[in-house]
Amino acid sequence: MTRAPHPADPAPRRVVLVDLSRPLPDLAADDRHATALVVATWHGRPVGSLELALDADPEATRARLAPLLALVPAARAAEEARPPRLGDDRLPSVTVVVSTIVARREDLELMLDGFARVDHPDVEFLIVDNRPVLPADDVLPGLVAGRDRVRVVHEPRRGISAGRNAGVAEARGEIVVFTDDDVRVEPDWLRELTRPYVDDPSIDAVTGLILPAELDTPAQIWFERYYGGFSGERTWQPLVLTPERAAGGLLTGARVRVEADGELVRRFAVYGVGAFGAGANMSFRRSALHRIGGFDLALGTGTPARGGEDLAALVGVLWTGGRIAYEPGAVVHHRHRRGTDELLHQLRGNGLGFTAMLTGLVLRDPRHLLGLAWQLPLAVRSMAVQSARRIGGGAGPVVEDAPAGAPGAARADLADGGAGAAGPDGADGAAGDAGHGYPRSLVLAELRGYPSGPRAYLVSRRAARRSSWVAPLDEPSWPVRGRAGRADRPRPAAGGTATAPATAGGAGHPARDSLVPRP
């Protein structure tokens, strides 16, 4: 049942990008929006954010935007220090994989329209159709018809991990990028996301910045404010994550160094990598995906575990000695869940998926038990404090006297592990409702999901093993086509007509032939 609106619910906010290399724009309140999340850019590159009240008088609002100008000196210096734009001949080939069940046609169409504007010389977009049965009035063929660089791959096995692994098996690119079917991408998204691979060959994965596409409902605002959207510690600086060897050299990757411009800003436990990346905007070298065995089929949306597959992959990169870069210049805009019921479901899935992920990691490598044991007391304490702050109204981004991204602000937040750079924040705070507490039901939904994760993982894993093929945890988990009864099996459309999957490539396809066939 949908939650009824409450007078204390936050009002809709505009999401506005303001380029500080140009004069500040005229912004004014309208009939719908009295507040705004302003994301500041410098020549199109995000450098900070500010949440402020909008005034009917544009001049008054422009005065409230003035604190953003404090970002200009650092933004200009960073631009001058940044290497020149890479030529097309230096960019790696890219495959973008989107697994979808085609639930929201409008979102999918907007995403595809954005793909058409992406500036990259060597990219293909794979839309993995993850529906077990095709409807008679299927809209997907019409959505992709006539679009350059777009292919459809069919994967009837349920679950986003199965869909993503099917995309990896079909990928032609050296770099495999993953996003969701409800995002809008910036034209230079892939140039920025793939640049770290060229600048530093030791990088195995790169994540990017996820901004809200809209903040029109209380659910979207709560998710963005108190969870920082998809990034628990949103920052505007490029970062590099490097695994460290624990005391005695027993574990590689249990602790991770976070560096900005070669300077240490903090250390964190590998299981907290979700603060620096999520499945809506992440990429891997294809060789790294082979090394970690792809995505765990027992995790992710569409399975009893409901999530965790993206974090498990990022943990896997660090755990096996790889390095991850975070590039805030690689931007996607995500449409957060609009309804409170949807958000409740998502948050419970987040909690469940996180502990399911931990269960899968331990089953794959029991040394994770050691990594978890010494972190558990601190994690429980942190969780309790964070939940109390959320319910009390103080869990969102810390309200500061400078916009997020101001010199030193993000680094200080990273250094002490706080949430000050996590989401919409700034001199005007929450523009009138910063003191409103986060709904207790949402906090409890996530907490109640945690105990269910281990069992859900085991149920999910058994379900995967009952299917026609399964990848053991110590071998690649993506499908190898060309064997009867597996990913190349035709599936019935509505009405009983078998529909063969759309495939590309053939004998000698490097991504496919290098995978280990399942018996």
Q: Are residues 260 and 151 in the same domain?
A: yes
Cβ contact 67:403 at 8 Å: yes
Mean pLDDT for 451-460 is 97
Q: Are residues 25 and 93 in the same domain?
A: no
Q: Are residues 69 and 130 in the same domain?
A: no
Mean pLDDT for 368-395 is 73
Is 500 part of a structural domain of the chain?
no
Between the two ends of the chain, the Cα-to-Cα distance in Å is: 46
pLDDT in tens, 410-420: 332 333 333 32
Is the pLDDT score of 252 beyond 70? Answer: no
Q: Are residues 75 and 222 in the same domain?
A: no
Is 491 part of a structural domain of the chain?
no
Is 267 part of a structural domain of the chain?
yes
Q: Could you please report the per-residue DSSP string of 377-409?
A: HHHHHHHHHHHHHHHHT--SSPP-SS-BTSTTH
Is the pLDDT score of 150 beyond 50? Answer: yes
Q: Are residues 243 and 217 in the same domain?
A: yes
Selection from 100-114, 215-229, 233-247 with the highest mean pLDDT: 100-114
Q: Are residues 67 and 205 in the same domain?
A: no
Describe the chain by its helix, strand, coil percentages, rounded to 5: 35, 20, 40
Please name the amino acid found at residue 112.
L
Is the pLDDT score of 36 beyond 80? Answer: yes
Other C-beta atoms lying within 10 Å of the C-beta of residue 388 = 12
Is 110 part of a structural domain of the chain?
yes
Distance of CA 230 to the CA centre of its chain: 6
Q: Residue 366 maps to which CATH number? A: 3.90.550.10
Number of domains the chain is built from = 2
Distance of CA 74 to the CA centre of its chain: 27
pLDDT at 468: 46
Is the pLDDT score of 449 beyond 80? Answer: yes
pLDDT at 408: 37
pLDDT at 492: 40
pLDDT at 382: 75
Is 511 part of a structural domain of the chain?
no
pLDDT at 329: 96
pLDDT at 4: 52
Return the higher-pLDDT residue of 165 and 255.
165
Q: Are residues 41 and 172 in the same domain?
A: no
Percentage of the residues of the chain whose pLDDT score is greater than 90: 64
Tokens of residue 337, six digits: 């869940």
How far apart CA 406 and CA 399 sit, in angstroms, is: 13
pLDDT in tens, 173-224: 999 999 999 999 999 999 999 999 999 999 999 999 999 999 999 999 999 9
pLDDT in tens, 472-503: 334 444 333 333 333 333 344 444 333 333 33
pLDDT at 234: 79
Q: Are residues 59 and 94 in the same domain?
A: no
pLDDT at 111: 98
Is the pLDDT score of 272 beyond 80? Answer: yes
pTM > 0.85: no
Is 486 part of a structural domain of the chain?
no
pLDDT in tens, 422-439: 333 333 333 334 445 678
Q: Are residues 44 and 192 in the same domain?
A: no
Please give the mean pLDDT across all residues of the chain: 81
Domain assignment of residue 62, given as a range: 13-81
Q: Are residues 155 and 22 in the same domain?
A: no
Q: Are residues 95 and 73 in the same domain?
A: no
Return the higher-pLDDT residue of 253 and 223.
223
Is the pLDDT score of 359 beyond 80? Answer: yes
Mean pLDDT for 66-87 is 93
Is 281 part of a structural domain of the chain?
yes
The domain boundary residue, chosen from 81, 111, 132: 81
How far apart CA 481 and CA 513 sit, in angstroms, is: 9
Is 452 part of a structural domain of the chain?
yes
The domain boundary residue, chosen from 36, 65, 81: 81
Grade residue 401 by pLDDT with cuts at 50, 70 and 90.
very low
Own/partner pairs for 404-408, CB < 8 Å, 24+ apart?
404/48, 404/49, 404/50, 404/234, 404/236, 405/40, 405/46, 405/47, 405/48, 405/49, 405/71, 405/235, 405/236, 406/48, 406/67, 406/70, 406/71, 406/74, 407/70, 407/71, 407/73, 407/74
Grade residue 510 by pLDDT with cuts at 50, 70 and 90.
very low
Q: Are residues 46 and 155 in the same domain?
A: no
pLDDT in tens, 298-328: 999 999 999 999 999 999 999 999 999 999 9
How far apart CA 500 and CA 491 sit, in angstroms, is: 7
